[in-house]
Amino acid sequence: MYGLKNQRDSGAKEMASRVTASVVSLIKDKDDIIPYIEDLADGLKSSLTEIVPEVRALAAKAIGALVSKLGRAHSEHILQTLRDILESVTATSIEKAGAAQGFCEALVALGDDMITKTFDSLIAGTKDSREHVRESFINIFVYLPIVMGESFEKYISDVLNSVIDSIYHNNENIRNLSVKTMQNIIKRYSEGKIDLILEPLFDGMLSSNWIKRDSSAVLTGDLIDIMFKEDETKSKYTVFEERPRTFTILYIIKNDPVNQVKITATNIWKTFIENTPKTLKVIFNDITKCFIELLISGSDYHNNLCDVALKEFIGKYGDVFLTDILAL
């Protein structure tokens, strides 16, 4: 207990968390632990709020081991301790991160049914109007994919569609956590799930909010990099043919009225596109389709964007695509 609660020695907390997890796994009868639940929970809470990430991670693992041994009926004090931190107005970002990590380990330890039962409330938390609560629940989705592994795949779409609306929040912590959550999902689940991840990013790149457009473009750039590395035997133009909408929207928002978005999209385009006319030739049908969709969307932003993008497209490449345009 001393090691877990030691206020100054991160090393002591780290070792104590390791020992706690090991001892819990060796105990056969949970009744032997029950008298010490509150003390263990308080000690692990102290380690969860440690500034050193490795200590927080080990404390979270220890919580998972403890909850797994105790079962749902005897874990309520531990879960409530974590909820109190997550919903606290005064908890720091580090304390929220530790509590979120511990809560994820506890949920997974209690099984798929527990995750299914609580999932809707977790998603609701990412949209909470109270910033301190919103930050905490987005934090949960920073760690839950890591803890769940492949089992998280069925939740990807719901999480992305919920979290993407926070990437333009006024609160910087919320913005950063939202981007981090999406980056984690992209990194871990892009193989075989790229199209599922791209859909909310398409909407984001054409949002009326420029911060959302910019962040969505950056994340799309991460995905494009993965696309090209996914199967290096494919030519880039095969990738363009398979996912033309990705490059269509990126090309269009290179003409964004907000300079930051224009710069981001242009830099991504230059990074991956070696021959613009040849690329546009491959995605031409999707470009025309996208222009039409945006023009009839009723959005002033879309109309203005199309006006500039069309003028740029025709001015630079009209002669190259004259036959294609006439064929339409």
Write out the two tokens for 46.
Answer: 């102290």
Whether the pLDDT of residue 42 is over 50: the answer is yes
Q: For residue 247, how many other CB atoms are within 10 A of its CB?
A: 24
Where in the chain are the domains? 1-110, 231-328
Burial of 31 (0-12, 13-18, 19+ CB in 10 A): exposed
pLDDT tens for residues 100-115?
A: 999 999 999 999 999 9
With vertex at residue 243, the alpha carbon angle to CA 282 and CA 206, rounded to the nearest 5 degrees, is: 100
Q: Taking the C-alpha atoms of 89, 93, 94 and 96 in order, what is their torsion angle to the nearest 10 degrees?
A: 50
Whether the pLDDT of residue 3 is over 50: the answer is no
Q: What is the mean pLDDT of the chain?
A: 86
pLDDT the model gives residue 1: 42
Of the candidate ranges 2-6, 40-44, 171-175, 268-272, the one whose mean pLDDT is the lowest:
2-6
pLDDT tens for residues 194-240?
A: 888 999 999 999 999 999 999 999 999 999 998 888 767 778 888 89
CA distance 75 to 88: 20
Pairwise pLDDT comparison (37 vs 136), residue with the higher score: 136
When pLDDT is averaged across residues 68-84 and rounded to a whole number, the result is: 86
3-state secondary structure of 73: helix
Identify the DSSP state of 52: S
